[in-house]
Structure 1
Amino acid sequence: METTTSQVLISRLADWGVDTVFGLPGDGINGLMEGLRRNADRVRFVLVHHEEAAAFMASAHAKATGKIGVCLATSGPGGIHLANGLYDAALDHAPVLAITGMQETSVLGTGYQQEVDLTKLYADVAVYNQLVVNPQQLPGLVDLAIRHAYAGRGVAHLCVPNDIQVAAAGEDPYQHVAPANPPHTAPIYLDPPVRPRDEDLDRAVHLLDGAGRTAILAGVGARGAGTLVEVLAETLGAPVVKTLPGKMVLPDDSPYTTGGLGLLGTAPSEELMGDIDTLVMLGTNFPYTKHLPEPGKVKVLQIDLEPARVGTRLPTDVPLVGDVAATLEALLPRLRRHADRGHLEKYQAAMRDWRAKMTALQDPDRDPIAPQYLAACIDGLASDDAVLCCDSGTIATWAARHFTIRGEREFYLSGNLATMAPGLPYAIAIQHAFPHRQVIALQGDGGFAMLMAEFSTACRYQLPITVVINNNNSLGQILWEQMVLGYPEHGVRFGEPQPDYAAWARASGGFGARITAPGDLRQALAEALAHPGPALLDVAVDPNEPPMPGKVNYQQAKKFATAFLHGQPHRAAIATTLFKDKIAQLRGDS
């Protein structure tokens, strides 16, 4: 059987250690599908229902494993569908390779059916973006694409026309000055040096030794360096704030952390940012600058692998370009220990108070079910090595505050893109990569509905994921954003009839249950987590529970009140919920 270009492409992916490709077939990639069939012993193909899900899966695979994630889509609309998931990978710096089809080279530019120039479409999202026009370009272009994805921590794209896909691997329709490819060798990618220069470390020591009240802001770039971050916190007497993507950098019960920052963060973290003279930023490009100290008011030290990101958010006194772990290993032995513990102890006390208030909101007797209680049940029943895949919306608030990182737990969501719908595809991809770990997808009803067909994908592959829907029958985050902006509620409640997602789960071949009473929740969740295959729990939660910021400023309160009093059709129910929350917190204080 003649070896085709597609076989060479897929085989080269396998040489790079790729064992899974997520995608959906189409007539624009039939040659590539045949290449996958002929390499089925080395690379498995995971069939999805929507290409957007395939891209989310590739993104999640890259985030969770650190290895290249690969997705495949047909020409035209298939490639267009990939875009949202590819932007998720790009904005969160996850290495992903997208492979798409294209019409035969002989008809390009003629307005042929489904002819979309995907290289132009991906020009903004891809760090490497190439149309393959000659079989001789492979496997060299695969090597270059993957190296660019790793080096640029982003998306690479190869677009392969139909006739190139099925061409003989050795075919060379053109004369070349030199061979297009070097001799076939084992693929290799080497990370660049990651330790800052000694003179830069000396500047960092000078700044930190002279610091008074210091805070550390740790992002996902500090993942794996948690022990070193705690040593830095102990040395400086500095509380540690975690970005939401960096939630798993430190355990949530660490004596050094004040939790998250911003709308989904904690009051102690918000207060801390206004009570420091020095900020250490570790592997983060936190975009919400209004929650950071006022520029110029504090000294800033920033550690990041990407030189272009250093100084993006705040004027930076000492930039250190390097890996967080390697940099801290070089820096810590040079620092003196700060004897004054008053600053750290102040925020340790504030966090004890905050945790008590959050626990008070996890009321099992509230009816309708409090979303805080739902998140707390997941937290209490999940294993110590559970992976939580969170969607965007109000559920990100409940997960941030009520799902605790402990043991080997991990937490993933769409960070900078903050798109809806990735929770379920993330869970599928991560369960594929780690079949023996407990994987949970926490989604809102709005996000789940967008890609709910992928639950049947989980059933087809018998993946033991647990999907929990925080169902407020609305676009909850948008509802509260409208109120904070002072707008009357509009277009955010779905109304009746409500879809029966539990019935969909059972029809797909999985476990499905709908919970409306708080007394039934914990047992039903335990059953779902124990189910050997895919399970779904559709939980009707209080739709009037506001995801309040950790610290409400005057303008937010004023606009909320304006919307509340003028045109808010559910103000009585919301007022009741807010009253119950306050009573619960007061009881927690007593």
Structure 2
Amino acid sequence: MTTVADLLIDRLLDWGVDTIFSLPGDGINGIYEALRTNRDRITLVLVRHEESAALAACGYAKFTRRLGVCLATSGPGGIHLLNGLYDAKCDGQPVLAITGHTFHDLIGTHYQQDVNLDKLFSDVAAYSERVMGPAHVRNVVDEAIKTAISRRTVAHLTIPKDVQDWSADGQLSKANVPGHSGDLYSDPLPLPSRALLEKAAAILNSGTKIAILAGRGCLGARDEIIQLADTLAAPIVKPLLGKGVVPDDHPLTTGGIGLLGTAPSQEALETCDTLIIAGSSFPYIEFYPKPGQARAVQIDLDTSRIGLRYPAEVGLVGQCWDVLRALLPLVRHKTDRTFLQKMQTRMAEWNALLEARGSRTDVPMKPQVAVRALNEFLADDAIICCDTGTVTTWVARHIAMKGTMQFSASGTLATMANGLPYSLGAGIAYPERQIVCIAGDGGFSMLMSELATLVKYALPVKIIVLKNNLLGMIKWEQLAFEGNPQYGVDLQPIDFAACARSCGATGFSVEDPAGLRDVYRQAFAHPGPVVVEAVIDPLEAPLPGKITMEQAWQFAKAVARGQEDRWDLMKSLLLNKIREVV
């Protein structure tokens, strides 16, 4: 007998879905039976926690630019998906979440696991519906997938557990014409009018100090961004999710922006008279030019994002690569390249500083040393999955993008624990590519049971855990933003190399920079999943590219109020400054 669950899987297959991340439960047993009978056509990736399923689906969507799909049981299973789904929503990734529900005729009667998931998901999902029967499946699957893809967001379907087993022979209503919805989505590919393009070009042609803020919407527009930057003598500033837009050693980029960015990027935005915001909604408004300082042209696929962070004089709606191709013939080549050359000089100085910081031989090992040494072992098409915390600063600054490398982190949501599930999603999508997860010990320990998942599916992911037994980012936020001594941030030490071995992976631990490259060499030569526990200095501060007076004042207040390791901290900061001067 063909069931409602069979109809669901058949329709997902029609849409080209071939991978689902999930943890089973009795609320989705009917769907699991349909997956079992279709196991030669669709891959079920069994995770250890539903949050991992949603984060893996988000990572899968980020790296493949396809729909990510996750599945969870009723009640708590569905609830566990939420964090990963909000990550997808905040970073504009198409993810379909499917959940079970209790028996259809006991919904709303306080039965076991009777959680109204279609209502619960109403904020995170742009489309959230309950499947009512066999005649309903095709329509809602089509609508959910089209919504997720077209709006680059989350959609959700929930199916009562008994409905999953109903016969597919359900009667259609008179108004429901069979097959009226199709399994095809066509991107409208809007292009701005000629008049708007000319207006934008006029602003750019009149600018003398132009900067380009190139976000994740430009990941497929590398050639166009480089051509525009070269034509306008404009430095390319990269928000975190745009790290892969151009290689980090390209002479036209000043690297990242924000607290984990570079000083040259901040200077470029502080002094530019014209700003191009392309495919970015970088959230930290304080890092943009002051309102009125720069004339702005913004390119975004979402009309509602125009002017969201900075007042745009012209908004160009469309895919960045299409809009840039239409705009490029209208902009004139700048002969005055003073602004760009100044930023390039600053960037050379900044890179020399990073090289000095990343080549230290101190013990305890500096975190930037552990991260920077990875560059020697990264393939030109490596996929880098970064967790959230101080680790994000070290990765943003010290991992050098090259070739066709891909990178992502939890951008706007900035959730911890994303790194390992992202690498799972990437590894399932690209088992032949080098996948590297870089995480702090706080974020990694949240979902480290997924090590067993990597082993189960023989995914050769290399995991670098920066271990300082500390929630480092929270510590520095308490010190530099709040002016308070650290509290509640010390972690009980875990032997991550031993944990890796207990899960069936390979584990290494390294404390001395002198042995770091040898450990990495062994790790990357190993054919299976590997954890490298890099023990790092807990006193190394993730200082912003340019420290504000407010941050310095708050740090001083925290020291005065009794920060326990204040003298060690001040000694570490002073030594860093002395080394930079020398």
The TM-score range, normalised by the shorter chain, is: over 0.9
* Partner SS state of residue 262, structure 1: coil
| Equivalent in the alignment of 1:31 | 30
User: 1:401-416 residue pairs with structure 2 within 5 A?
Assistant: 401-416=397-412
1:242 aligns with 2:241: no
Displacement of 1:580 in angstroms is 3.1
1:273 aligns with 2:269: yes
- Kept in 2, the 8 Å contact 1:441–1:467? The answer is yes
| Equivalent in the alignment of 1:45 | 44
Displacement of 1:183 in angstroms is 5.5
1:478 aligns with 2:477: no
1:358 aligns with 2:354: yes
- Kept in 2, the 8 Å contact 1:137–1:180? The answer is no
Greater shift after overlay, 557-566 or 118-127?
557-566
Structure 1 residue identity aligned to 2:491: F
* Partner SS state of residue 242, structure 2: coil
| Equivalent in the alignment of 2:485 | 488
- For 1:94-133, what per-residue CA distance to the aligned partner results, in whole angstroms no more than 9, with x for missing partners? 0000000001111011000111011111111101110111
| Equivalent in the alignment of 1:330 | 326
Counterparts of 2:235 and 2:445, CA distance in 1? 39
1:211 aligns with 2:210: no
User: 1:187-226 residue pairs with structure 2 within 5 A?
Assistant: 187-226=183-222
1:559 aligns with 2:554: yes
| Equivalent in the alignment of 1:506 | 501
Counterparts of 1:89 and 1:368, CA distance in 2? 37
**Alpha-carbon RMSD:** 1.2
| Equivalent in the alignment of 2:21 | 22
Which residue of 516, 522, 537 maps to 2:532? 537
Using a 3 Å threshold, how does the CA distance of structure 1 residues 299 and 5 change in structure 2: closer, same or farther? same
Structure 2 residue identity aligned to 1:417: L
- Kept in 2, the 8 Å contact 1:432–1:463? The answer is yes
Q: Normalising by structure 2, what TM-score?
A: 0.98
User: 1:80-99 residue pairs with structure 2 within 5 A?
Assistant: 80-99=79-98
1:179 aligns with 2:169: no
- Kept in 1, the 8 Å contact 2:200–2:297? The answer is yes
User: 1:382-461 residue pairs with structure 2 within 5 A?
Assistant: 382-461=378-457
1:584 aligns with 2:553: no
Q: Normalising by structure 1, what TM-score?
A: 0.97
Displacement of 1:364 in angstroms is 4.1
Displacement of 1:315 in angstroms is 1.2
Displacement of 1:359 in angstroms is 0.6
| Equivalent in the alignment of 2:565 | 570
- Kept in 1, the 8 Å contact 2:279–2:299? The answer is yes
Counterparts of 1:489 and 1:364, CA distance in 2? 26
1:528 aligns with 2:523: yes
Counterparts of 1:332 and 1:575, CA distance in 2? 50
- Kept in 1, the 8 Å contact 2:27–2:161? The answer is yes
* Partner SS state of residue 29, structure 1: helix
Counterparts of 2:215 and 2:108, CA distance in 1? 45
Structure 1 residue identity aligned to 2:201: V
Counterparts of 1:81 and 1:309, CA distance in 2? 29
- For 1:331-388, what per-residue CA distance to the aligned partner results, in whole angstroms no more than 9, with x for missing partners? 1011111110101000000000000001100134111010010111112221121111
Counterparts of 1:27 and 1:184, CA distance in 2? 31
| Equivalent in the alignment of 2:373 | 377
When the two structures are aligned, how many residues end up with a matched partner?
Answer: 581
- For 1:374-408, what per-residue CA distance to the aligned partner results, in whole angstroms no more than 9, with x for missing partners? 11111222112111100000000000100011111
Greater shift after overlay, 117-126 or 92-101?
117-126
Structure 2 residue identity aligned to 1:574: L
Displacement of 1:193 in angstroms is 2.3
Counterparts of 2:88 and 2:176, CA distance in 1? 34
Structure 2 residue identity aligned to 1:292: Y
Displacement of 1:44 in angstroms is 0.8
1:66 aligns with 2:65: yes
* Partner SS state of residue 326, structure 2: helix
| Equivalent in the alignment of 2:146 | 147
Displacement of 1:506 in angstroms is 0.4
- Kept in 2, the 8 Å contact 1:300–1:315? The answer is yes
* Partner SS state of residue 296, structure 2: strand
Counterparts of 2:360 and 2:262, CA distance in 1? 22
Uncovered stretches (5+) of structure 1, i.e. residues with no partner = none
Structure 1 residue identity aligned to 2:282: F
Counterparts of 2:474 and 2:574, CA distance in 1? 22
- Kept in 2, the 8 Å contact 1:138–1:181? The answer is no
Structure 1 residue identity aligned to 2:504: G
Counterparts of 2:45 and 2:110, CA distance in 1? 32
Structure 2 residue identity aligned to 1:441: C
Uncovered stretches (5+) of structure 2, i.e. residues with no partner = none
Greater shift after overlay, 362-371 or 105-114?
362-371
Displacement of 1:184 in angstroms is 7.8
Counterparts of 2:507 and 2:370, CA distance in 1? 17
- Kept in 2, the 8 Å contact 1:136–1:180? The answer is no
* Partner SS state of residue 158, structure 1: strand
- For 1:302-328, what per-residue CA distance to the aligned partner results, in whole angstroms no more than 9, with x for missing partners? 000000000111111011001110001
Using a 3 Å threshold, how does the CA distance of structure 1 residues 401 and 184 change in structure 2: closer, same or farther? closer
- Kept in 2, the 8 Å contact 1:56–1:425? The answer is yes
Counterparts of 1:284 and 1:181, CA distance in 2? 41
1:114 aligns with 2:113: yes
- Kept in 2, the 8 Å contact 1:392–1:420? The answer is yes
1:252 aligns with 2:248: yes
1:103 aligns with 2:99: no
- Kept in 1, the 8 Å contact 2:142–2:181? The answer is no
Structure 2 residue identity aligned to 1:336: R
* Partner SS state of residue 106, structure 1: coil
